[in-house]
Amino acid sequence: MDIPSSMAVGGTRIALQVATAFKRPVLEIYHHLRNVSAPPETFPIQDHAGKKIGSQVHRFTDTFFDFQLVNIGGVRAEDALVEFTGDDKYFPCKMIPSVVQGYPISKVPPGQVLLLFRLPSEYVTQRDEPFTLNIRFNGPSEGINRIFRMWSKLLKRSQYEYAFKFDPKQYSGSHLPSPEYNG
């Protein structure tokens, strides 16, 4: 049986378009060291008798690490689960954020930035042990991805997995970034 060449080329072209049009979600975790300065506050200066002799202006600063989840892929991610592995002493008073305790995020659209948690810099600089954030997520259940997602459902696991390792040693002795002024 002879197949016309135009038909073979057309079929190949369609298969190539379907293969290249398949997009997947890509979740990344970014961390950012921030140095935020509050608006200036004025405090009175008093002598021993309680008489006001002047005032002092001071800006309070807050230095912390922001951890953010970003979808840099072309389609939304579904059922994203972030798991924390490591020393849980990073979180003061054992208050681990709910997103890291195993509660799934139902949908993360492309370009979405979600704040996972923030850590004060003194909690990070006092630690030597790194910690890992594992992300498990699925692509949308539509189109050709429905076929790929079927296997992960049968095996009872997520379709994609990503691990982010944070090592506090990379910030030992580092200088603070320039302050961000709020007011």
Higher model confidence: residue 56 or residue 96? 56
* CATH code, domain carrying 85: 2.60.40
What's the rounded Cα separation, in Å, for the pair 181 and 183? 6
CA distance to 16, 18, 21, 144, 177, per residue, from 24 (Å): 16, 13, 10, 11, 35
- Please indicate, yes or no, if residue 61 is contained in any of the structural domains: yes
Quick check: 1 pLDDT over 50? Answer: no
Q: HSE (CB half, 13 Å, CA atoms) of 20?
A: 6
Task: Please report whether residue 18 resides in a domain.
Answer: no
In-domain check, residue 183? no
Decide if 92 is inside a domain: yes
Q: Whole domain around residue 157: which residue ranges? A: 24-169
Is 70 inside a domain boundary? yes
pLDDT tens digits, residue range 5-52? Answer: 554 555 565 454 544 455 788 888 888 888 888 888 888 888 888 888
What is the three-class DSSP state of 46?
Answer: strand
Amino acid at 120: P
| pLDDT tier, 139 (very low <50, low <70, confident <90, very high otherwise) | confident
Would you say residue 6 lies in a domain? no
Averaged over 99-126, what is the pLDDT? 80
Q: Which of the listed ranges 15-29, 49-63, 95-109, 136-150 does the model predict with the highest average pLDDT? A: 49-63
The answer to whether position 19 is within a domain reads no
Confirm whether 48 is domain-assigned: yes
Which of 97-111, 128-142, 159-173 is least confident?
Answer: 97-111
Q: How many domains does the chain have?
A: 1
Bigger pLDDT: 76 vs 145: 76
